[in-house]
Amino acid sequence: MAGRNPFVPIDRKLSPVQTSVPFIEVDSLEKIFTIRRKAGLLKRSKREVRAVDGISFGVERGEMVGYIGPNGAGKSTTIKMLTGILTPSGGRLRVAGIDPARERTRLAQRIGVVFGQRTTLWWDLPLKDSYGLMHRMYRIPDARYRENLDRCVELLDLGELLDVPVRQLSLGQRMRGDIAAALLHDPEVLYLDEPTIGLDVVSKARVREFLRELNTTRSTTVLLTTHDLTDIEQLCSRVMVIDHGRLMYDGKLTGLHAVGESERLLVVDLERELPPIEDVPGARFVRSEGPRQYLAFPASSSAAPLVAAVAAAYPLVDLSVREPDIEAVIAKMYGGTREERRESLM
Amino acid sequence: MAEALRTSRDSRRAYPLVSDSWRTYRMVAGMWIRSTMTYRSSFALTLVTSFCVTFFDFVVILLMFGQVRGLGGFSFAEVALLYGTTGTSFGLADLTMGSLQRMGKRVRDGSLDTFLMRPAPLLAQVAADKFALRRFGRVAQGLLVLVWALVLLDVAWTPVKVLLLPVMLVSGAVIFAAVMVLGASALFWMQDAAEVTSSFTYGGNTLLQYPPTIFAQELVRGVVFVVPLAFVNWLPALYVLGRPAPAGVPGWAVFASPLVAAVCCGVAGIAWRAGIRSYRSTGS
């Protein structure tokens, strides 16, 4: 019996309060794929790809976390290990105290998954038939099922779609249908892989509104991967950035600016065309368009002393401050890691 | 030690696993039947086609006996018995497990992921995937030929022989099903292995329609000892027909079909588990 789980007693000794163990625990998680390629007529060359290369994090119950990174960074691979679809090559992983790969079907009762590019709905059957299958497959008590379905139908506006065969639904309608299907069994965690991909503005807004409501009223833990940073800005208090299978950043979205060394822009309109302003400390001249000049300064410092210094020395007509673009910040982070990689390779 | 603990826990869970699988199978198959019924005329057409295709198979044997009196020392009724038993067994396995051969596509395009997320046994979900009632045509045709054979046969029926008949059909179906599961397990590593499995299942079915006496001894030994297809119908049927077992095969082997079926299931189960653990999914 002692050999079953050596980690639990140690954890308890360190922290007697049970709740201090995060709901999702990931420790030095690795996934290595071996790629075999034809190198000749019969020869095969073997190559190892570290899709996930030693990631550690914890997610508390009720958190809403954004998981972002470029294509092929290892986002989906992580999610698939968290759901038990893929078996990790190394490291330790617990979701609600369960080892996903070993007890996949038991964990499935407690999690909901939505893959934006893959539907779980039945193509030729009316939407409500798919929900009926969920009802029976997850053994959801009748009253609970009715209540959850009614709530999803109301909030995701599915009322008129229940009798429509899934193949006739639009992409946005189907996504809403898929989200509802993932929530009928009251999952404690919801994984969303690109939930707003390909949706129009109205559908996106509705999906986001629904997720926010779910998180606040049900305190469902949400982990979402996305390419749309507006999703993150509007939903997630915490963001994790992954690239090349490594965690580059884990913290508040605003903190990304400091890490990414991002800069804000001070746009200065002068009375007339003047030589570049280069004598103001803390600011860097970027470019000018006639009487308008652009000055960059670190996002972490205040704009007030700069404005005062410029106003004192130059004939100022108008000015404005431009916030850094979060996408640019992240792109810069990815770029940075590429540079480092290249250097370390050389 | 941990390994031993796990297996003991698994064996305690064995019964719920079977009942869970059956429950899942019924649910998923039910959904597919309803899906097919949305295209009714197309369903009726495929049902007729399927029946015709398998029936022509039998017509070939019928025509052959129009020309020759016996086949490898077997009379028409005796060959019909072989045909009917393997046809029924294979038909049952194909009806329930035939979709496993199409799992390669699910592995390749990653749609197997959605099955793995559900709280239900994967094998049952994949086996019931695209469940097609039209495959019942094969079972019906096998049974029809079997009944015909039983009417024509001149056999001194004993209680053992009567009992051996249903045992043979069920064991045969289980052996075919286990081979299909084994083949599907290989699809986790090689998505194009379905052709190899087909040669054992569809090919095996065709082989077993004919008397073992017309084949080379090496081939017969191969299907006894390597891929144990001979236990589907050859060996038990030889006993029913009062013929000796092929050379080199022990006498008790004619009753061993259920045992062989159980062993096949064990091997297939192990392979299947190994397959799931090495599933790689796709890029996104």
Predicted confidence (pLDDT) per residue in A145-157, tens digit: 999 999 999 989 9
With CA atoms as reference, the chain A residue closest to B273 would be: A102
pLDDT tens-place string over residues A217-245: 988 999 999 878 888 888 998 999 998 89
Residues 1-20 of B with CB under 8 A from A: 1-2, 5
CA distances to A130, A269, B163, B167 from B171, rounded to whole Å, are 35, 89, 12, 6
A118 against B239, higher pLDDT:
B239
Confidence of residue B131 (pLDDT cuts 50, 70, 90): very high
> In this complex, is the C-beta atom of A226 within 8 Å of any C-beta atom belonging to chain B?
no
The boundaries of the domain holding residue B266 are 2-278
Q: Is residue A89 a contact partner of residue B280, using CB atoms and an 8 Å limit?
A: no
Q: Provide the H-helix boundaries in B1-128.
A: 2-12, 14-37, 40-67, 76-97, 103-109, 112-116, 122-128
Q: Is residue B232 a contact partner of residue B172, using CB atoms and an 8 Å limit?
A: yes
Q: Please state the domain count of chain B.
A: 1
Residue B178 in tokens = 């286990």
> In this complex, is the C-beta atom of B35 within 8 Å of any C-beta atom belonging to chain A?
yes
Q: Considering all CA atoms of chain A, what is the largest pairwise distance in Å, rounded to the nearest integer?
A: 82
Judged against a pLDDT cut of 70, whether residue B108 lies above it is answered with yes
Judged against a pLDDT cut of 70, whether residue B116 lies above it is answered with yes
> In this complex, is the C-beta atom of A215 within 8 Å of any C-beta atom belonging to chain B?
no
The mean pLDDT of A119-144, rounded to a whole number, is: 94
With CA atoms as reference, the chain A residue closest to B114 would be: A120
Q: Is residue A102 a contact partner of residue A85, using CB atoms and an 8 Å limit?
A: no
> In this complex, is the C-beta atom of B217 within 8 Å of any C-beta atom belonging to chain A?
no
Chosen from B113, B122, B123, B272 to mutate, greatest number of chain A CBs within 10 A: B113
Judged against a pLDDT cut of 50, whether residue B6 lies above it is answered with no
Question: Rounded distance, CA B229 to CA B168, Å?
Answer: 12
Per-residue confidence (pLDDT) for residue A20, from 0 to 100: 63
Residue among B176, B175, B200 nearest B259 (CA): B175
Q: Decide if B189 is inside a domain.
A: yes
Chosen from A71, A124, A134 to mutate, greatest number of chain B CBs within 10 A: A124
Judged against a pLDDT cut of 70, whether residue B72 lies above it is answered with yes
Name the pTM for this structure. Answer: 0.80
Residue among B223, B200, B240, B227 nearest B74 (CA): B240
C-beta atoms of A3 and B114 within 8 A: no
Nearest to B113 among A85, A129, A136 (CB): A85
Three-state secondary structure call for residue A173: helix
The mean pLDDT of A112-127, rounded to a whole number, is: 90
Percentage of chain B surpassing pLDDT 70? 94
Per-residue confidence (pLDDT) for residue B14, from 0 to 100: 59
Judged against a pLDDT cut of 90, whether residue A169 lies above it is answered with yes
Per-residue confidence (pLDDT) for residue B225, from 0 to 100: 79
Highest mean pLDDT among A6-15, A162-171, A191-200: A162-171
For B273, half-sphere exposure in the C-beta direction (CA atoms, 13 angstrom radius) is 9
Question: Rounded distance, CA A297 to CA A267, Å?
Answer: 11
Per-residue confidence (pLDDT) for residue A337, from 0 to 100: 53
Q: Decide if B249 is inside a domain.
A: yes
Percentage of chain A surpassing pLDDT 70? 88
Q: Decide if B284 is inside a domain.
A: no
Q: Residue A140, Cβ neighbours under 10 Å: how many?
A: 20
Per-residue confidence (pLDDT) for residue A336, from 0 to 100: 59
Three-state secondary structure call for residue A100: coil
Chain B residues whose CB is inside 8 A of the A84 CB are 116
Judged against a pLDDT cut of 70, whether residue A15 lies above it is answered with no
Judged against a pLDDT cut of 60, whether residue B197 lies above it is answered with yes
> In this complex, is the C-beta atom of A136 within 8 Å of any C-beta atom belonging to chain B?
yes
CA distances to A276, A290, A307, A314 from A268, rounded to whole Å, are 11, 11, 9, 10
The mean pLDDT of A267-286, rounded to a whole number, is: 87
A63-72, B139-148, B193-202, B205-214: least confident range:
B193-202
Chain B residues whose CB is inside 8 A of the A1 CB are 5
Chain B residues whose CB is inside 8 A of the A122 CB are 31, 35
Q: Decide if B283 is inside a domain.
A: no
A100-104, B109-113, B262-266: least confident range:
B109-113
